[in-house]
Structure 1
Amino acid sequence: MAHPTYEWRPPERGWREQDLFDLPEDGNRYEIIDGSLHVTPPAGPEHHELADDIRMAIRLGAPTGWRVIREIGVRVPGGNLIPDLTVLRPGAPRERMWAEPVDIALVLEVESTGSRRHDRFTKPALYAEAGIAHYWRVERGDFGPVVYRYRLVKDVHYDLVGTIGPDDAVTVDEPWQMRLDPSSWPR
């Protein structure tokens, strides 16, 4: 059985948010970085399962009005990104497809083979430039997930404030006080 193809051409100018609406809903993640389109293939079930478990862990301790959303769009300078998880502050508009950085307290990326460089270098720089206070990156270690926690410094860059490994159930203070136990998340 032949698969339908989608023929598209890049715009004659740089890519913009409105161009994303014309792309196919094929499971790929389409993001814009400095006017260039970045396409990431769909993540595997293990990636989604880990992101879901982290989302539930964060949501369990969320104060009233805070929301933890999977794969919502985030506007950043020069583009649009889609983190694996976004924590929205109370009062953030519910109907928006693309969240504004002022409404975001934390973004989280679960690293995968196809996203490693962007999750470690490109995306944190853009999230910091946008003024998002906290960035977490989750890697699959040999013994389970490891969370690298970063805090925005001088509205310019992130500093590592700590890591949480599968043997390190700890209480963190960002964006609110909560207990995290990576040993309960899938490897």
Structure 2
Amino acid sequence: MTMAAEAVILEMTPHPSLPDWVFPPPQGFVAEDLDHIPDLPAHTELIDGSLVFVSPQRHFHQMVIHRLHNELEDLVPADHEVVQEMSVKTAPQQRPEPDLIVVGPKAMIGSEVTCFKAGDVVLVVEVVSPDSAVRDKVRKPVLYAEAGIRHFWIIEELDGKPVIFVYELDPVTKSYVTTGAYHDRLKISAPFDIDIDVTKLYQARTR
């Protein structure tokens, strides 16, 4: 299934109950359109020129993002910033929204910032949800790699526990190669020194 098909598929015939922006232009949307479409749902992504809307998130997804954000805040260099659920412009018609990113010292930070340049992103993290698994594991890694983002993590829930799959960009092929899967402890030296107890990112309550 293409990303356009995985997004909301709509008839091109106008309907009085739908806003005008639901019907994309023939050439598709561009990244800057997301800043100007009125009443656009929060966290809408742009993938291959098509709008992709976010479904309600599971507790696993929300908790892992929250706890990992806190962990990374304590580990990033002083001139870096951990950012949650902000989009990244990777190409003219590509503006995905990772769950977490770490941006470097050249990134613009401020209340007026609506997205980040791929060149300012040091690390991208996606926490996989069932409804977005194809995007998170297939399409979005290609977009991040083609944009030159060097470090990429995917976090999946396996047997009720988080597992972090770590990837690094091969500069020759412009694609990601895996450097490890971490079930208990993530201890690596790139993109900066990281030591995280993976088991604490999500602990389901027992009744």
Q: For residues 18 and 177 of structure 1, what CA distance do their matches in structure 2 show? A: 35
The answer to whether structure 1 residue 63 and structure 2 residue 67 are counterparts is no
State the Cα distance separating 1:43 from its structure 2 match.
1.6
Count of matched residue pairs: 180
Which residue of structure 1 aligns with residue 99 of structure 2? Answer: 84
Contact kept in structure 2, 1:14 and 1:36, CA below 8 Å: yes
Q: For residues 32 and 120 of structure 2, what CA distance do their matches in structure 1 show? A: 21
Q: How does 1:144-163 map to 2 (within 5 A)?
A: 144-154=161-171, 156-163=174-181
Contact kept in structure 1, 2:45 and 2:53, CA below 8 Å: yes
Structure of larger gyration radius: 2
Which residue of structure 2 aligns with residue 183 of structure 1? Answer: 199
The one-letter code matched in structure 2 to 1:157 is: S
Which residue of structure 1 aligns with residue 143 of structure 2? Answer: 126
TM norm structure 2: 0.80
Considering fraction of residues, name the structure with more strand: 1
Q: How does 1:13-162 map to 2 (within 5 A)?
A: 13-21=27-35, 22-24=37-39, 26-27=41-42, 29-77=43-91, 78-95=93-110, 96-154=113-171, 156-162=174-180
Residue 75 to residue 26, structure 1, CA distance change in 2 (3 Å)? closer
State the Cα distance separating 1:55 from its structure 2 match.
1.0
Q: Aligned-residue CA RMSD in angstroms? A: 1.7
State the Cα distance separating 1:44 from its structure 2 match.
2.8
Q: For residues 79 and 192 of structure 2, what CA distance do their matches in structure 1 show? A: 12
State the Cα distance separating 1:174 from its structure 2 match.
2.0
Higher mean C-alpha displacement, 60-69 vs 79-88: 60-69
Residue 145 to residue 23, structure 1, CA distance change in 2 (3 Å)? farther
Residue 170 to residue 37, structure 1, CA distance change in 2 (3 Å)? closer
Residue 49 to residue 23, structure 1, CA distance change in 2 (3 Å)? farther
What are the superposed Cα offsets for residues 11-46 of structure 1, whole Å, 9 maximum, x if unpaired?
Answer: 32311223323153544x311122122222132343
The answer to whether structure 1 residue 11 and structure 2 residue 11 are counterparts is no
The answer to whether structure 1 residue 171 and structure 2 residue 183 are counterparts is no
Structure 2 SS opposite 1:80: coil
State the Cα distance separating 1:172 from its structure 2 match.
1.0
State the Cα distance separating 1:75 from its structure 2 match.
0.5
Q: For residues 117 and 142 of structure 1, what CA distance do their matches in structure 2 show? A: 20
TM norm structure 1: 0.88
Contact kept in structure 2, 1:62 and 1:176, CA below 8 Å: yes
Q: For residues 112 and 39 of structure 1, what CA distance do their matches in structure 2 show? A: 13
- Unaligned runs of 5+ residues in structure 1 are none
State the Cα distance separating 1:73 from its structure 2 match.
1.0
Contact kept in structure 2, 1:6 and 1:24, CA below 8 Å: no
